[in-house]
Amino acid sequence: MAALTRCFFLFYKVYPILFCSWILQVLRFMILATIVFWNFCRYAIAYYKYKEMFNKKSSKFVFRRNKHVGSLDCAICLSKFENGEKGRKLETCRHIFHENCLEKWLMQKDIKASCPLCRSVIITEEIEEEYRKLEDEGKRDHSYEKELTLILLSILNTGYCHCSFSN
């Protein structure tokens, strides 16, 4: 019986220390990790939708010069396609551009996601707005997230809680 009493007494002393320091710190860390993960997931989903729409509305190709096809010009950079260069052909209007030129064109903030020549829509306005909004949020200074991180990390660094239990 004395051993059982001693075991319960030891548990009574150790339990508050574990609960106050270890479990609460894990909980605080989980909150921080959840907030960071949630923000990352929101951006990743918006980026995926944007790229998926871009890939549906255009097709990739590698330029090969032959007798039947003369020289092609990219209307964005105004240079000719060379053998082996990657390009994109828009499905709606059939205009052709260098792959990198078209991607840079679509990533510009002030320009709607449309064809540089005829302005036909490539990416719907809803998907574009969601992506640009989250992209802008990612570039902004998230002071509230930084403050939350500092608070949670400072609490993690304190170690033990200041609980007092009587015998």
HEC profile of 21-32:
HHHHHHHHHHHH
pLDDT at 165: 47
Q: Tell me whether residue 161 is in a domain.
A: no
Q: Tell me whether residue 132 is in a domain.
A: yes
Coil/strand/helix, residue 162? coil
| Amino acid (1-letter code) at residue 158 | T
Q: Tell me whether residue 48 is in a domain.
A: no
Phi, psi dihedral angles at 73 (to 5 degrees): -115, 145
The rounded distance, in Å, linking the Cα atoms of 167 and 73 is: 86
pLDDT at 167: 47
Q: pLDDT per residue over 93-109, tens digit each?
A: 889 899 999 888 887 76
- Strand ranges inside the chain, DSSP E: 58-62, 86-90, 96-98
Q: Tell me whether residue 151 is in a domain.
A: no
Q: What is the pLDDT along the chain (167 residues), one digit of tens a residue?
A: 677 777 777 777 777 766 666 777 777 778 878 887 887 888 888 888 888 888 888 888 888 877 666 678 888 898 888 888 899 999 888 898 999 998 888 877 667 788 888 888 888 888 888 887 877 776 655 566 666 667 766 765 655 454 544 44
Return the DSSP state at 117: T
pLDDT at 69: 63
pLDDT at 98: 92
Return the DSSP state at 89: E
CATH code for the domain in which residue 77 is found: 3.30.40.10
Gap between the terminal Cα atoms of the chain: 19
Q: Tell me whether residue 88 is in a domain.
A: yes
86: containing domain: 60-138
Q: Tell me whether residue 82 is in a domain.
A: yes
Q: Tell me whether residue 146 is in a domain.
A: no
Total domains in the fold of the chain = 1
Which segments of 112-142 does DSSP mark as H helices, in order?
125-139
Q: Tell me whether residue 66 is in a domain.
A: yes
pLDDT at 24: 72
